[in-house]
Amino acid sequence: MTFPVDFRVGGWTIPAHLVFETLAYTIGFRLYLSRRRRLGDHVSDPHRWSIVTAAAVGAVLGSRLLFWLEDPAATMSKLTDLQALAAGKTIVGGLLGAWIAVETIKVRLGVTVATGDLFAVPLAAGIAIGRIGCFLSGLPDGTYGIATTLPWGIDLGDGVARHPTALYETAFALVLLFVLRRFEPNRRRGDAFKLFMASYLAFRLAVDAIKPGVGIALGLTTVQWACVAGLLYYAVWLVRRWKAPAAATAPVASGDAMARQ
């Protein structure tokens, strides 16, 4: 296989990354709509779309900001290259940015019901699909791992066998998707999204240790420190969740699902 991978359709050349990124967004959104119809949504229409808009804006801003902070020197050198600055993004920044934006707008709107559970499964599915495109993009995508002598190391075009970290992430997201599906019937309000966030941040903290990156403190990258910050917040929930009385985790009827998110 030669990286980056492109698909040829007639006279068109379509980057694999674009194909899988489009699939990730499309399938993720369809899953969200399907789950909203099936599980219900107790957030009023004006508030719902305000929250969705806040999530989208927060995701874009967060993904760009954290990407710029990953390598401050490189970012400073590209200040005049707006296209390069706009193209870079990171999932961790997008998730944290969306979460902060949603929690902020909910306080302003007076919305107290948790709204994240409907997004947990779609996000896991989207990450699983999208990272395949990252892998097929090879070195230019910047999501590759460091050199390895393990038998599954892959040469992405520079003659070096590397950890296929994008595929690790796809495998992890698929396992998380399965866990979330099994976990949902017994969840309490908001637990599915919290489980998704805590699990993904923990995974990224670990897997980014085998990616080339710029350490900013204690050998950790900016993305890893963002994961640490998020995990500190969710650690409180994890402790409370597993200490909760059994009665508090009784199954939720599907029609009342959104009220108990």
45 confidence band (pLDDT: 50, 70, 90): low
Domain ranges in the chain are 6-42+113-260
Contact 189, 43 (CB under 8 A): no
Average pLDDT of the residues in 130-155: 95
Q: How distant, in Å, are the alpha carbons of 31, 70, 72, 201, 221 from that of 225?
A: 31, 10, 15, 10, 6
What is the pLDDT at residue 187? 67
What does pTM read for this prediction? 0.88
**How confident is residue 246, by pLDDT bands cut at 50, 70 and 90?**
very low
Q: What is the mean pLDDT of the chain?
A: 87
How much is the pLDDT for 245? 54
- For residues 221 and 215, the answer to whether their CB atoms sit within 8 Å is yes
In the structure, what pLDDT confidence band is assigned to residue 68 with cuts at 50, 70 and 90?
Answer: very high
Question: What is the share, in percent, of the chain residues with pLDDT greater than 90?
Answer: 61
Per-residue pLDDT band at 44 (split at 50, 70, 90): low
**Which residues share a beta bridge with 6?**
15
